[in-house]
Amino acid sequence: MRRSIPVLILLLATTASCGQQQRQQPQDSMSPPNAPATQAFESADAAPPGVVSRAAAGPNVGPTAAPGVAFNYRYAFRLAAPRIAEVQEQHAQLCERLTVARCRITGLRYRVVNERDIEAMLAFRLDPAIARRFGREGVEAVARAEGMLTESEITGTDAASSIRQAGRSIAQMTDELRRIEARLAARPSDDERIRLEGDADRLRQGIRAAEAGREEQADSLATTPMVFNYGSGDLVPGFDSEMTFAKSWRQALDNVSAAGLGLMIIAITLAPWILIGLLLWWAVLRIRRRWLAKPPVETA
């Protein structure tokens, strides 16, 4: 009996190890074979270190690749007034490094309302293949400058369908124009010739308009417009920053300074009129004392 105990223990250990291996095999088979590829894709599109916060950079969401769709990107940023020009220059340099073949600056605005309220704009035309990444890098530059993304809008237009529709319309109008020209070559009556010539002119105008529209849609697929709007202070509506003691103290000092400046302006504006009023009052008193005073009464 004592000799059989070690044999039983060995059999139980062997059975337990086999069961554990069988349980691990299904778990290993459930792991996706393309996990490393997915991780590499996510890391390639992840934000670099140094970004201030997730809220400042906004959501990392972009349009799905859609052939034939022309996208339009618009971003709005909130920054401290002194940082707007700096970040605007960084975005312009980012575009210049890509060369004009892939990025062009098509518009710029910088307007100072007062020392705290500044608004600016920068417009680009980008290679569609790099538009999303360029937008993310622009947002990250704002976040590094202690700013934040306040609005992001991406719209798309199905340009390919418009191009196909324009092509069908051009083909139909061209066939109709050939039929009319063939009829005109047969020398119809004067009334019919005048009517056919009018129809031919309208068809030629329609063909030119359709070709221009098709070229415009083709250009929208070749380049992607992107606009960066910058703002500070009250020029960014709907944003309420956290009020700290330092901000409250600065705001109180600003209010006192503004009130003192207002009182000074009122005093300077009214001072000449007050002085004129005092001089007139002094002149009236002098006249009353000198010419309008009653003579002294003689006593007996």
Long-range pairs for 24-27 at CB < 8 Å and ≥24 separation?
Answer: none
Q: What is the pLDDT of residues 126-183, one digit of tens each?
A: 998 899 899 999 999 999 998 999 988 888 777 677 778 888 888 888 888 899 888 8
Report the distance separating Cα 269 and Cα 291, nearest Å. Answer: 35
Residue 64 maps to a domain: no
Estimate to the nearest angstrom the gap between the alpha carbon of 183 and the chain centroid.
56
Residue 175 maps to a domain: yes
Examine the domain organization and report whether 152 and 201 are in the same domain: no
Closest CA to 147 of 56, 36, 252, 226: 56
Examine the domain organization and report whether 183 and 75 are in the same domain: no
pLDDT given at position 23: 42
Examine the domain organization and report whether 143 and 166 are in the same domain: no
Examine the domain organization and report whether 96 and 134 are in the same domain: yes
| pTM metric for this prediction | 0.54
Residue 87 maps to a domain: yes
Examine the domain organization and report whether 126 and 226 are in the same domain: yes
**Per-residue pLDDT for the chain (300 aa), expressed as one digit of tens each?**
444 444 444 444 454 444 444 444 433 333 333 333 333 323 334 444 444 454 555 555 555 556 677 888 999 999 998 899 999 999 999 999 999 999 999 999 999 988 788 999 999 999 988 998 999 999 999 999 989 999 888 887 776 777 788 888 888 888 888 998 888 888 888 888 888 888 889 989 998 898 888 787 777 677 889 999 999 877 665 455 555 666 677 778 878 888 888 888 998 998 899 999 888 888 888 887 777 665 655 555
Dig out the tokens for 111 from the structure: 């307007």
Task: For the sheet with 69-78, list strands across it.
Answer: 103-112, 118-126, 224-231, 69-78, 148-158
Closest CA to 132 of 57, 202, 217, 72: 72
Residue 216 maps to a domain: yes
Report the distance separating Cα 99 and Cα 95, nearest Å. Answer: 7
Range of the domain at 142: 70-157+222-233
Which burial class, exposed, middle or buried, applies to 84 when counting CB atoms under 10 A from its CB (0-12, 13-18, 19+)? buried
Residue 121 maps to a domain: yes
pLDDT given at position 48: 44
State how beta strands 69-78 and 224-231 pair: parallel
Residue 16 maps to a domain: no
Examine the domain organization and report whether 106 and 170 are in the same domain: no
Report the distance separating Cα 291 and Cα 284, nearest Å. Answer: 11
Return the number of other C-beta atoms located less than 10 Å from residue 33's C-beta: 7
Number of domains in the chain: 2
Examine the domain organization and report whether 80 and 145 are in the same domain: yes
pLDDT given at position 235: 65
Residue 269 maps to a domain: no
pLDDT given at position 121: 95
Report the distance separating Cα 154 and Cα 64, nearest Å. Answer: 11
pLDDT given at position 10: 44
Dig out the tokens for 78 from the structure: 């909130």
Q: Which helix (H) or strand (E) holds 213?
A: helix 190-222
Examine the domain organization and report whether 111 and 227 are in the same domain: yes
DSSP state of 148: E
Examine the domain organization and report whether 93 and 133 are in the same domain: yes
Residue 77 maps to a domain: yes
pLDDT given at position 125: 93
Examine the domain organization and report whether 80 and 212 are in the same domain: no
H-type alpha helices, 31-113: 35-44, 54-57, 81-97
Examine the domain organization and report whether 141 and 184 are in the same domain: no
Examine the domain organization and report whether 101 and 229 are in the same domain: yes
